[in-house]
Amino acid sequence: RQMCIRDRCDMSYELFVRAFTIFEENAANPKEQARMMATMVSSLIATRNLPEDSYETLATKVCQYTATFLQKHDQAMMASLCANLFWKKNLSDTFHTRVMECLKRSVKLAGNSTAVNQPPAFVEVLNQFLHLFAANATGVDGKAVSTVVELMREANMNIGEDIKDTPEIEASKLYYRNTTRYIRSRATQDERWQEIEL
């Protein structure tokens, strides 16, 4: 039985390595890159029984690929998504501390995005913070989430007249309104959510 599990782990690892090769050879379009990496993240999260060192190698490789995206807002969204790679229950505490590393990087990248891309990036990052806050991820507390809420609010206030009515900005405002509505509804049911300042 142990041999069977090891063979499956080796096969899984090899499939991810091949997927990285396919990504390198075929992902020229930024939207396609983001879609492929999001699929890679969710597939890696779904794996079971990979040895921790193999999982770490693959997770680190995914994070490295996302850092090569051309647009800062794409990097920000993918860095926040990568935080999920390090919040699996069967991983050691060392991995769990990397959750906040990814989230902090995503906040920094979102802040360095162009004005039109900041609100969409911040609202995506905020929702990843909330997902990990709900999961009680290490370091993701009400104060950390409140910081991203404040940055989102600032990004919305700094939108210039020339871009305030663009579809991206309108969509991010709607997403943000729905997100704050969700936070308020959770706060009525769970004391922890009251720590988040809107």
Provide the pLDDT confidence category of residue 7 given band limits of 50, 70 and 90.
low
Among 16, 152, 134, smallest CA distance to 76 is for 152
Provide the pLDDT confidence category of residue 114 given band limits of 50, 70 and 90.
confident
42/62 Cα distance (integer angstroms): 11
> What does the pLDDT read at residue 18?
92
pLDDT tens sequence across 19-63: 999 888 887 787 888 888 999 999 999 988 788 888 899 999 999
> What does the pLDDT read at residue 130?
97
Among residues of the chain, what percentage have pLDDT more than 90?
55
> Residue 186 carries which DSSP code?
H
187/181 Cα distance (integer angstroms): 10
pTM of the shown model: 0.87
User: What residue type is 121 in one-letter code?
Assistant: A
Residue 63 burial by Cβ neighbours in a 10 Å radius (0-12, 13-18, 19+): buried
Q: What is the mean pLDDT of residues 109-123?
A: 91
Tally of residues, the chain: 198
